[in-house]
Amino acid sequence: MSRNKSQGLAVAARMNSTILVLATLDGLSYAALVFLVSVGLSLIFGVLRVVNVAHGSLYAYGAYMAATLSMIVAPISPWLTYPALLVASILVGVIIGGLMERFLLRPVYGRDDVLQLLITFAVFMIMDNLQRLIWGVQPIFASEPLKLLPNVSLFGVTYTSYQVILLPLIAIAALFGLRYFLRYTLAGAVILAVTEDREAATAIGIDAKKVYITTFMIGATLAALGGALASPTTSLVPGMGTDMIVLSFAVAATAGLGQIEGTAVTALLIGLARAFVIYIQPEFEVLVPYLIMVLVLLVRPMGLFGVNHVRKI
Amino acid sequence: MLPRSNAIRFAIFAGIVFAAVMPLFLTSWTTLVALILAKGIVVLGIIILLQAGQVSFGHAMFFAIGAYAAAFWGRRFGGADLAFLIVLGPLCATIFGILVGLFVVRYREIFFSMLNLAFSMVLWSLLEKMYHYTNGADGIRVPRPTFLGMAFSPDAFQYVLLYLTLALAIAATWAVQRYLDSPLGHMLRAIKANETRLEYLGMSARRVLLCGYVASAFLAGLGGVLVAVAQQIATPEFGFWTKSGEFVFIAILGGSANALGAFAGAAVFEIVRFFAAAKLANTWQLILGLVLIIIILFAPNGLIGLWQKKKMQDGRAP
């Protein structure tokens, strides 16, 4: 998606070094977005043991909501579109994520795994249709935040600083923020305790229900943030969430579900691989993430960074 | 598996008669009923895997393989006989089922689902991107085949397809029921209940699951051919992950404890889609999603479970 907007494309003579830099930058900005969505999925699975099929819908809603809010605040001051992106993702994550966990997932914990998977599949179907009813099926463009920041030149390639500086910075901030939150704060310790042993954690007075809903909201907000940040760089169309969900599955599963740092490395790997393939053999672009996923899972079913004991046999 | 009660026997009989007779009066329903039955055949395969507690989020790949087998054959040789296609499609799906199955049966639960998903997405992206061979997203037209050497007009062919699909659906249901009642089927359920014990009994859980997996791939391939012939096209959409989700959806909607649930679920699914799509665009998924949530939250055994419960209550009433 980023390649459409990459200003350097026109200048991209057939010089190999230029292509190399372009592909790297494309891959980097793409990986940043994919990381945000995948890490949310991974976090939710790590704590709740639920694969959230509606995760891609949260991504799409984040994008649409950000576009809507941007259009409202842009006339006041275009700079307000940046906080609008953040507000949009929190709104989507907390409200939709919270409602989903409280009223749909909570009743099915402890029942067949397939029911949890399917209930999020049902939410995906509902959200997909609602999205068409609310925002229509025509593509929406909201590139305001992209245009405000200056372009940068790197090794002779001009690129938007929104994509090559701001997006990776936010992804890195999210990575370290999550690490810090889970390792060095009380709330994070509580989440880890519930993940490790829900019963024992409940026995010492931890409210596991609260932990579940909080985690789900955080994960959902990360997905929506990925969408909100992607909204200036791409056109918003129906089906954008459908593609994103399998991609984030691929990244999260390749990394090993529940692995936060691993997700970052894998997102970078898949993002770069995809970007290079676009320049070498564009028709195989979609294939790359899934091929990597199949190959990795065949050799290491627990993922690249997963821990072995998750397997029963 | 199937409770051998008179009520169920009656339901099966009523269902068959309904599917056989009603399209004679409502011509527009012929293809719809054929589609329901074909989808039901695929869902039978999903139900086999659900007995072992495994959910495949990638079975649309075998569905697509069946459909594309018919499409490629039709394009290469101009036409085909339906009797041949319903052998070819499942055969191709079975071969792929064995190849993929050898890998995936080593994994359980979420890993099983994920790996199936990954394989199916690889197939989907190949179908979508190998434009030269597959026409990409446009798909390949499946010309109307002959049946046993006879050519039919479009109207007559609808009925040929319907009754063939009905016969295949009956045969498939019977075979699946026999399979699940057999020792091999019981071992399949033992994988869900306690896999370690199964291994201690000297059985190979992987081999048991592989049998079930290949059987389900066969059924998906058969359903794929029938749907491709009914809709006269095979597109990459047939192998997309949402299609796989749909099959699991139908299995849970109908009730996975019972082979009959496959057809009950498929009927509700296709009918809602048919009418919602005609009346209000962009709402059929919304309606089906709500139905699924209600079923999961309030009727965990699916439509068939609801119906059985009602029967039991009626039976107890004086």
Residues of A in contact with B283 (CB under 8 A): 129, 133
User: Which pLDDT belongs to residue A247?
Assistant: 87
What is the structure's pLDDT at B38? 92
pLDDT at A288 over 60: yes
Looking at beta carbons, which residues of chain B come within 8 Å of A133?
Answer: 282-283, 286
- Closest Cα partner for B90 from B110, B109, B69? B69
d(CA B103, CA B40): 26
Dist CA A28 CA A279 (whole Å): 15
What are B184's two structure tokens? 């091999």
pLDDT for A284 equals 79
The beta-carbon neighbor of B290 closest among A111, A126, A290 is: A126
Q: How much is the pLDDT for A71?
A: 85
For A297, the token pair is 């899972």
- The ipTM, to two decimals, is 0.82
Full-prediction pTM beyond 0.90? no
Closest chain B residue to A127 measured between Cα atoms? B286
Buried b (16+ CB within 10 A) or exposed e, B223-258: bbbbbbbbbebbbbbbbbbbbbbbbbbbbbbbbbbb
In 3D, which of B114, B31, B19 has the Cα closest to residue A301?
A: B114
**Nearest CA to CA, how far is B278 from chain A (Å)?**
15
Nearest CA in chain B to A310: B111
Within an 8 Å CB–CB cutoff, is residue A270 touching chain B? no
Average pLDDT (A93-113) is 87
How many CA within 13 A on the CB side of residue B269?
31
Is the predicted pLDDT of residue A158 greater than 90, yes or no?
no
What pLDDT is attached to residue B41? 93
Is the pLDDT assigned to residue A9 strictly greater than 60? no
User: Do B137 and B236 meet the contact criterion of CB atoms below 8 Å apart?
Assistant: yes
The three-state secondary structure class of B32 is: helix
Write down the pLDDT at residue B314.
66
CB B44 within 8 A of CB B176: yes
For position B207, what pLDDT does the model report?
Answer: 87
User: What percentage of residues in chain A have a pLDDT greater than 90?
Assistant: 17
Whole-number pLDDT of residue A6: 52
A275 reaches B (C-beta below 8 A): no
Could you say which residues of chain B have pLDDT below 70?
Answer: 1-9, 19, 23-25, 27, 311-318
B55 contact residues in A (CB cutoff 8 A): 113-114, 117
Single out the residue of B40, B95, B41, B86 nearest to residue B67, CA to CA. Answer: B86
In a 13 Å sphere around the CA of A111, the CA atoms on its Cβ side amount to 18
**pLDDT at residue number B140:** 84
At residue A41 the predicted structure's pLDDT band, cuts being 50, 70 and 90, is very high
Q: Which of A26, A58, A3 is nearest to A270 (CA)?
A: A26
Considering chain A, what percentage of its residues have pLDDT values greater than 70? 93
Residue B64 is predicted with a pLDDT of 94
